[in-house]
Every structure is written in structure tokens, then in C-alpha cells.
Structure 1
Amino acid sequence: MPAIALGHYNLRGDRVTLEKLRDFYLRYVGLTAGPRPLKSFGYWLYAGGRDVLHLSENRPGEVRQTALKTGFDHVAFACTDLPAMLAILQADNIPYRHATVEASPGFATQHQVLFSDPEGNGIELNFVEANI
């Protein structure tokens, strides 16, 4: 049975880290905090009415391996209002890279804004030229 969509991704950490990540994703990605049906500590962040990022507290005794090499590079979000997002990143001195992917058959021109969250996870914000 094939996957039909990405449900969410999950980042884990201690409470201080989760709060830092929550605030970062709310401000610099434009996600919104929403309901979370679990009793454990954490946050569910939403885009377009869907939970897309879960922030979960480490389990008791769990130690996160921060030096572990993986193939993970970034998570991408479809966004609108490129000028407003760039203004926020610039005002807060968040380092980013802005790349343009030119239109090709079946694809509109896209503007990509790439940066990292406070834990070093890569983020890509995609702005289709028609939505800028």
C-alpha cells in the first residue's frame, strides 16, 4: 500500500529545547500551535489546518545522539508572501540563502529560502511565483 502524503515529522528534546523550537517555527516558518491529544509534554504545530510538526519531550532516560550522521538535509514548506518572510528573517538577523528555480514544463518558477532551526535542522520555504 503506497504512502499518499507526508503526515508529520517529529523533533525531540528537553523542555527548554522544545520551547525554543516552538517559538522559532511559529515566527520563522509561520506555523501555528494547535491541539495535541497526548498527555505527555510537547507541542503540535500546524500548517493549513494540518499538524505537520510534532515537538516531543525526550522519554525518561533517553539520550539524543546529536553527533549521529544521517542523510537528513531539510524539511520543506509551501509558503506565501516571500517579501514578508524575508523581512522577518532580515530584521532578526537569521542567516538564509535565497535561490530561484526557474520555470520548466509543468513547474512554475519557485523561490526557495533555506536556513536552519536552532538545533541545526534544515528548513526550506518554497514560494511559487504565482503566490508571492
Structure 2
Amino acid sequence: MAIKKLAHYSIRTNNLEASLRFYTEVLSFRSGYRPAFPFPGLWLYIDEDESEFGAIHLIGVDANSPKGLLDYLGERKAYDQGGTGALDHIAFLASDWQIIRSRCLEHGVPYSERVVPDLGLLQVFLTDPSGLTIELNFPASEHRR
């Protein structure tokens, strides 16, 4: 097969700062190198390695100056609808649920937990500022009893 792995996903957001805070302060991503595209945005990295060009690309939608984004990526449906559309969720393998849980509580980010005993997995579901569902998968041993 020619496809090797998922490279990144992009989120068009009306609130770049809120998205940045969610992904950096709650989930511990790091903002790093991003080329000088003709529209606002940020590339977020899992760690210090920038060789794979970021895991998440935040695309800032500037209603007052949309030309650069429209010229580069083209027209899309209304940006203010939010949510996942046909995409149900994005999932990450994760560790240290109690630390992330504390950050969720500190930042007022609601979450739901589910244990999948057959997989030895704790699934945690969050919603980012644009309405995208994020699933974090932890070892089931990290579940509070």
C-alpha cells in the first residue's frame, strides 16, 4: 500500500487563540514551525521533532481578510457551523490521564470516560473549541475507580 500513516489533520477555526490554548494548555501540544502561508494559522507538534510537519494544523479564518485562505485552500461551507461533520472524531494514544484530567478541570473542558475491557483501554472524549471530538486512549489501568 502506498499510504504509510496519517500525517496531520487541519481545523478551520474562527477562534485561533482558543484552539491554541486548548491544544497546548490542555493536551500539551506545542506550537512550532509553520511556513509563511497567506492566511493565519499554527502548526502543533507532539514533541520537539518537527521533521513530520506537525500533527495538527490550525487554520485561522479571518472574515475580514479571507482572500489568502480562499486563494490557497479554496472555498468551503460556512465556517461557523463547527462540529465534526462527516468526521466522527480524531483519536490519539496518550498517557498520564490524571494530569490531563486536572488540566481539563482547570480549563473547564468537559469530558466523558469509557473503559473498553476487551482492549484494556480507557477512552476519554473531549470537544475542541471548533466542535471537533477528540478521543484520547489511555491504558485502562489509568482509570480512577
* TM-score scaled by length of structure 2: 0.73
User: Which residue of 1 is the match for residue 17 of structure 2?
Assistant: 19
- State yes or no: 1:28 paired with 2:26: yes
Query: Are positions 1:56 and 2:55 aligned together?
Result: no
Number of corresponding residues: 126
Counterpart for residue 114 of structure 1: 125
Partner of 2:21, secondary structure, is: helix
Q: 5+ residue gaps in structure 2?
A: none
CA deviations over 1:18-56 (Å, ceiling 9, x no partner): 121111111122111111123432100011435110012
Quick one: which of 82, 92, 95 aligns to 2:107?
92
Q: Compute the displacement of 1:110 (Å).
A: 1.3
Give the TM-score, by structure 1 length. 0.79
Give 1 or 2: higher helix fraction.
2
Worse-superposed segment, 115-124 or 36-45: 36-45
Question: Contact (CA 8 Å) 2:122, 2:139: kept in 1 or not?
Answer: yes
Question: What are structure 1's unaligned runs of at least 5 residues?
Answer: none
Give distance in 1, aligned partners of 2:107 and 2:37.
34
Matches of 1:70 and 1:116, distance apart in 2: 13
Q: Distance in 1 between matches of 2:109 and 2:43?
A: 23
RMSD across aligned positions (CA)? 2.5
In structure 1, distance between residues paired with 2:81 and 2:22:
22
- Identity among equivalent pairs (%): 29
Instruction: Give the 3 Å change call, closer, same or farther, for CA 67–20 of structure 1 in structure 2.
Output: closer
What is the deviation of 1:113?
A: 1.1
Counterpart residue number, 1:9:
9
Q: Is the 8 A contact 2:122 2:142 kept in 1?
A: no
